[in-house]
Amino acid sequence: MDVILIRFGEISLKGANRGKFENALKDNIRAFLKKEGISFFGVRSSSGRIFIDKPSTLPDLSRVLGIVSYSPAWEFVDLEEVKEFLAAREELFSKASSFRITASRADKSYPLTSPQIEREVGEVVFEKFKTPVNLKNPEINVGVEYIEGSFYVYFEKIPGWGGLPVGISGKLVVLISGGIDSPVAAFLMMKRGARLILVHFRKSPYVDKIPELHKILSSYAVGVEPELIILDLKKISSFYKIMTEEPLTHRYMCVLCKNMMLKVAEKIALKKGALGIVTGDSLAQVASQTLENLAAQRYGVKLPVYSPLIGMDKVDIIDIAKKIGTYEPSIKHREEPCPLHRHPTTTADLNKFLALREKVIKKLGYIPWEKF
pLDDT > 70 fraction of the chain, expressed in percent and rounded: 94
How far from the centroid of its chain's Cα atoms is residue 95's Cα?
39
Question: In angstroms, rounded to a whole number, what is the distance separating the alpha carbons of residues 128 and 131?
Answer: 8
Categorize the per-residue pLDDT at 338 as very low, low, confident or very high, splitting at 50, 70 and 90: low
pLDDT digits (tens, 9 = 90+) for 218-271: 999 999 999 999 998 777 777 777 766 666 677 788 888 899 999 999 999 999
**Is it the case that residue 204 has pLDDT exceeding 80?**
no
Q: Which of 198, 161, 179 is nearest to 65 (CA)?
A: 161
pLDDT of residue 347: 87
Q: Average pLDDT of 110-132?
A: 95
Neighbours of 332 (CB within 10 A): 12
pLDDT digits (tens, 9 = 90+) for 302-327: 999 999 999 999 999 999 999 999 99
Categorize the per-residue pLDDT at 274 as very low, low, confident or very high, splitting at 50, 70 and 90: very high
Question: Mean pLDDT over all residues of the chain?
Answer: 90
179: number of CA atoms within 13 Å, CB side?
A: 16
pTM, to two decimals: 0.91
**Is it the case that residue 340 has pLDDT exceeding 60?**
no
Neighbours of 289 (CB within 10 A): 22
Q: Which of 25, 15, 85 is nearest to 49 (CA)?
A: 25
Give the three-state DSSP class for 33: helix
**Is it the case that residue 334 has pLDDT exceeding 80?**
no
pLDDT > 90 fraction of the chain, expressed in percent and rounded: 70
How far from the centroid of its chain's Cα atoms is residue 308's Cα?
12
**Is it the case that residue 139 has pLDDT exceeding 80?**
yes
Q: Which of 221, 195, 296 is nearest to 255 (CA)?
A: 296
Q: Average pLDDT of 266-282?
A: 96
pLDDT of residue 97: 95
Question: In angstroms, rounded to a whole number, what is the distance separating the alpha carbons of residues 15 and 11?
Answer: 9
pLDDT digits (tens, 9 = 90+) for 63-102: 999 999 999 999 999 999 999 999 999 999 988 999 999 9
CB 32 within 8 A of CB 64: yes
Q: Which of 177, 188, 250, 237 is nearest to 217 (CA)?
A: 188
Categorize the per-residue pLDDT at 369 as very low, low, confident or very high, splitting at 50, 70 and 90: confident
**Is it the case that residue 343 has pLDDT exceeding 90?**
no
How is the chain split into domains, by residue range? Answer: 3-159, 171-371
CATH number of the domain at 3-159, out of 3.30.2130.30, 3.40.50.2020, 3.40.50.12160, 3.50.50.60? 3.30.2130.30
Question: In terms of pLDDT, which residue wins out, 286 or 47?
Answer: 47
Neighbours of 57 (CB within 10 A): 12
Question: In terms of pLDDT, which residue wins out, 349 or 234?
Answer: 349
| Strand pairing report for 171-175 and 99-105 | unpaired
pLDDT digits (tens, 9 = 90+) for 9-54: 888 777 778 889 999 999 999 999 999 999 999 999 988 899 999 9
Question: In angstroms, rounded to a whole number, what is the distance separating the alpha carbons of residues 343 and 323?
Answer: 34
Question: In angstroms, rounded to a whole number, what is the distance separating the alpha carbons of residues 132 and 134?
Answer: 6
Contacts of 126 (CB under 8 A, 6+ apart): 132, 133
**Is it the case that residue 276 has pLDDT exceeding 90?**
yes
CATH number of the domain at 171-371, out of 3.40.50.300, 3.40.50.620, 3.30.565.10, 3.30.365.10? 3.40.50.620
**Is it the case that residue 342 has pLDDT exceeding 70?**
no
Question: In angstroms, rounded to a whole number, what is the distance separating the alpha carbons of residues 264 and 258?
Answer: 10
